[in-house]
Structure 1
Amino acid sequence: MNGSEGTAGGSTRPLLSDPPGGRKAMAVWGIGVAVYFVAITYRTSLGVAGLDAAERFHINASALSTFSILQLLVYAGMQIPVGLLVDRLGPKRVLTLGVVLYTLGQFGFALSESYAMALGSRALLGCGDALTFISVLRLGSRWFPARRGPMIAQIAALVGMAGNLISTLVLARLLHTFGWTPTFAGSAAGGIVVLALLLVFLKDHPEGFEPPPAPVEHSGTAFIRRQIADAWREPGTRLGMWVHFTTQFPAMVFLLLWGLPFLVEAQGLSRGTAGELLTLVVLSNMAVGLVYGQVIARHHAARTPLALGTVAATALMWGLTLAWPADHAPIGLLIALCAVLGACGPASMIGFDFARPANPPERQGTASGIVNMGGFTASMTTLLAVGVLLDATGDNYRIAFASVFVLEALGVSQILRLRRRAARRERERLVVSRVEAVHVPV
């Protein structure tokens, strides 16, 4: 995360030293990560309840996919406004609003008896979820030194993915044992717990590292338009968005909704075995995230090769699985597919590592919001495509999941188009920041 201040918007101000990090930083930032952890649990809870939801609300595949599409539509559409809010109000206020909204959404989903009420609850949940991750990234940048940025971001994503484990290991069993309403209503208690911790203990920044007050002109629609335009103008922001777009969605679609039906209905596995494979995706994500974070922190040039390598591996495994001549792919191939899908989440975090050095500190939230839109837009598109193709082809999962390759091809073409421009611009900004560090008094 970018912890040092330079010049921005034509003004000059003293450079601030990096935040200190340490135990207090870990404790405060850990509360923010806990908020994100609960958000992921709620976001992915439908992934283990998709078949139950179809039965409860008497809906087909397209209508089922609408749950996740609407949730992601709200999430993706809010990313730039959320980035602006975080830059303006700070992480604590935004996280507080996020917890309230996603807890109400989860509780409403528990009580839903109609398809319309359930859709509204998932939209509210998506709204709260949208407020969390950008806030956690910003919180990390205010509490930890800049050199820790890649690892802090990967750890945040790793802990968030642990929320997926709660969905696949705990919620799935509770759903089978206690039923719909007790399971989802009980899980809403997690939001109440993190809200209490957030209100009592979380602080936006360590003492003595307050960000400078926003100038008077940093308000109104003109400033908002300029903030978004300046962030978008940076090639690193756009490259980060396309990296996020291309890498995140294969695993997101699999975990969020279509993985369990694919493994059970298309591959003939039991729900228990399918749940274990979904758990493998999450465990792989956590392991790969630690590796990617360490590699990128030490070797910044590894960002593009890691991202493109992950896309290539994902496309290869999906190609082998879908093209397998027998009706069911062998279990070993499905295990390999799920292990590779686990790398998608860590690879998507590389997008933020392109946007971070391309933007000054006061624009980090806006730039992160633009990046975060990428993967969720791709996920939303693929969720819809899979649902529509399943209904159109009589549940032919091979044709439906072939939509993955279309979006990957689009994303790779944009990454290749932008990577040299972004690298050149990043070198220019590094030179400028070094000159400013010499001439601007501390």
Structure 2
Amino acid sequence: MSVQDRHHPGAYTVWLIGLAAYLLAVFHRSSLAVAGLVASERFDIGAAQLSAFVMLQLLVYAGMQIPVGLAVDRFGPRAVMLAGAVLLTLSQTAFAFAESYPTALVARFFVGMGDAMTFVCLLRLVTSWFSPRQIPQITLMTGPIGQLGAIIAAVPMTWALSTFGWTRAYLLAASFGLIITLAVLLRVRDEPHSRSVRGPALSWTNIRRSLADSWEHPGTRLGFWMHFVTQFSSTVLGLLWGYPFFVEGEHTSENFAGTLLTVMVVAVMFAGPVLGRFIASHPWHRSTLVMGIVLAIMAAWTAVLAWPGDAPRWMLVVLVIAVGVGGPAAMIGFDLVRTSNPVDRLSAATGIVNQAGFLASLVTVVAVGVILDHTDQNYKAAMSFQYVLWGLGLVQVWRYRVKTRARLVRDDPERWARHAGLG
């Protein structure tokens, strides 16, 4: 193993604990997906109020990304991850005891906050503990493995709700946070030679400078639009509209709709390591790869939406596989951030990028619902809204790909000369 391929001793232990914290965060994020009917009865709410839970979590998650990134640059990933784990545990406990809709909304608000405080920390730990050549592979494995939390939230939570009831089921889910909190406290270090790392104080001047410098670099903006254009389709299907689209729009059975969503998650998990290995070996093809994946997703959706009547079942399988690949492809945006920003503002820049896909998801979730209400539940018309965001995203990826390369030519002409023409 070459020096470039070596990781620090204990790197995988730190990564696995951080990954467990992220997996638990995804579990808490997704735990309401299988409790919709129970929640409707418990809080005496309708479909619109139920969907507000999802919209609220997306808003909070996206809105917290920049503050969390700044906090990680200031206090280190370990401290922020600990705070997130504690907040998730307490808020999920509050959700277990909630008996009114407003109380439940407040609890889910803080679940969203705790969720938002995990992923950026994990990416920062990966950057600190692994070698430059390993970082892309580990990064693109992290997101897909974390999605196991969504699978774990399905069958076990369904069983727990039917067996123990609402309060005990959510208390059981919250209790796992105690284990994660203890593991992070005892075994996670910010860097191999330092338990805790602190950055400059968070004065308004430093905050403005960090955010301005991060956003000014075209590589950060390229990463933002990569994340924006690749992730939202899988998020929208997985969190809210996938099941209704397949059952009511394509008239599949409920079992087959569930199978399709499972296949999408499996595609996410398998695509991550493959894409990670590719960009580690071909870093100059990252934007080309993203644009190719988005075009493939658009082609799959076009085939389904343009099909007269219900699309064949095999075509729906192809669709969820293509859409699933978009999930880990969004992680490529973080690799652009890593190679475009110094370490002292890396998490702030990561937070900027991480909000992109969730903002796109939020816009799409709302737009699909509005279009459905105004077209007598025409799912094909509603899902066609995605082309607006794909078109915007692809134009911006191409635009900032050109600007990023021009910036590299200006700042490091020797490096550009060695790699010119490689993508």
Give TM-score scaled by structure 1 length.
0.87
Residue 369 (structure 1) aligns with = 351
**Contact 2:89–2:174 (Cα < 8 Å) also in 1:** yes
**Alignment identity in percent?**
44
Q: How big is the alpha-carbon RMSD for the aligned residues of Structure 1 and Structure 2?
A: 2.4
Among 305, 320, 341, which residue is 1:359 paired with? Answer: 341
**Does residue 82 of structure 1 match 2:68?**
yes
- What secondary structure is seen at the aligned counterpart in 1 of 2:339? coil
Q: Aligned match of 1:337 in 312, 319, 337?
A: 319
Q: 1:407 is matched with which residue: 386, 389, 392?
A: 389
Equivalence map 1:121-160=2 (5 Å): 121-160=107-146
Residues 1:425 and 2:411 aligned together: no
Give CA deviations for 1:145-166 in whole Å, capped at 9, x if unaligned: 1222211211211221121221
One-letter amino acid matched to 1:259: G
- The one-letter amino acid paired with 1:109 is F
Partner of 1:356: helix, strand, or coil?
A: helix
Match of 2:226 among 235, 243, 255: 243
CA distance in 2, matches of 1:65, 1:198: 33
CA distance in 2, matches of 1:36, 1:318: 30
Report the CA distance between 1:219 and its aligned residue: 3.8
2:52 and 2:217 map into 1 onto residues whose CA distance is 34
Paired letter, 1:285: V
Mapped to 2, the partners of 1:56 and 1:395 lie a distance apart of: 27
CA drift at 1:49:
3.5
Structure 1 residue aligned with 2:267: 284
Further displaced range: 108-117 or 361-370: 108-117
Secondary structure of 2:153's partner? Answer: helix
After superposition, what is the alpha-carbon deviation per residue over 1:155-183, rounded to whole angstroms, capped at 9, x for unaligned?
21122112122123433444455554443
2:251 paired with 1:268: yes
What residue number does 2:32 align with?
Answer: 46
Which residue matches 2:420?
none
In the alignment, the residues of structure 1 paired with residue 191 and residue 64 of structure 2 have an alpha-carbon distance, to the nearest angstrom, of: 24
Aligned to 1:205: 191
C-alpha deviation, 1:423, in angstroms:
2.0
CA contact (8 A) 1:19 1:206 kept: no
For 1:309, which of 277, 280, 292 is the aligned residue? 292
Distance 2:302 2:46 in 1: 26
Secondary structure of the corresponding residue to residue 147 of structure 2: helix
- The answer (yes or no) to whether the contact 1:241–1:351 under 8 Å persists in 2 is yes
Distance 1:285 1:88, change over 3 A: same
Cα distance, 1:60–1:300 mapped onto 2, change above 3 Å: same
Summarize the Cα distance change of 1:39–1:174 in structure 2 as closer, same or farther, 3 Å threshold: same
Q: How does 1:59-78 map to 2 (within 5 A)?
A: 59-78=45-64
Give the whole-Å Cα distance in 2 for the aligned partners of 1:302 and 1:21.
25
Name the counterpart of 1:101: 87
For the 8 Å contact 1:46–1:256, the answer to whether it is kept is no
1:384 corresponds to which letter in structure 2?
V
Deviation at 1:233, TM superposition (A): 0.2
Q: Residue 112 of structure 1 corresponds to which residue in structure 2?
A: 98
Q: CA deviation at 1:264?
A: 2.8
Unaligned runs of 5+ in 1: 1-16, 435-442
Deviation digits for residues 118-137 of structure 1 (CA, Å, limit 9, x no counterpart): 22222111100111111001
Q: Please give the alpha-carbon distance, in whole angstroms, between the structure 2 residues aligned to 1:294 and 1:30.
A: 19
1:191–1:46: structure 2 CA closer, same or farther, 3 Å change rule? same
| CA deviations over 1:267-305 (Å, ceiling 9, x no partner) | 333433322221111110011101100000000122112
Kindly tell me: are residues 182 and 277 of structure 1, through their superposed partners in 2, closer, same or farther at Cα, counting changes over 3 Å? Answer: farther
Residue pair 1:236, 1:426 contacting (<8 A) in 2 also: no
TM-score normalised to structure 2 length: 0.91
- Could you tell which deviates more after superposition, 40-49 or 222-231? 40-49
Tell me the amino acid that sits aligned with residue 133 of structure 2. R
Structure 2 residue matching 1:188: 3-state secondary structure: helix
Q: Please give the alpha-carbon distance, in whole angstroms, between the structure 2 residues aligned to 1:179 and 1:318.
A: 39
How many residues of Structure 1 are paired with residues of Structure 2 in the alignment?
414
**Residues 362 and 249 (structure 1 numbering): CA distance in 2 closer, same or farther, change over 3 Å?**
same
Q: Does 1:28 align with 2:14?
A: yes
The answer (yes or no) to whether the contact 2:4–2:133 under 8 Å persists in 1 is no
Equivalent residue for 1:349, pick from 331, 334, 354: 331
Are the aligned partners of 1:44 and 1:255 in contact in 2 as well (CA < 8 Å)? no
Do the aligned residues in 1 keep the contact of 2:188 with 2:195 (CA within 8 Å)? no
Kept after mapping to 1: 8 A contact 2:220/2:336: yes
Is the aligned partner of 1:294 residue 2:277?
Answer: yes
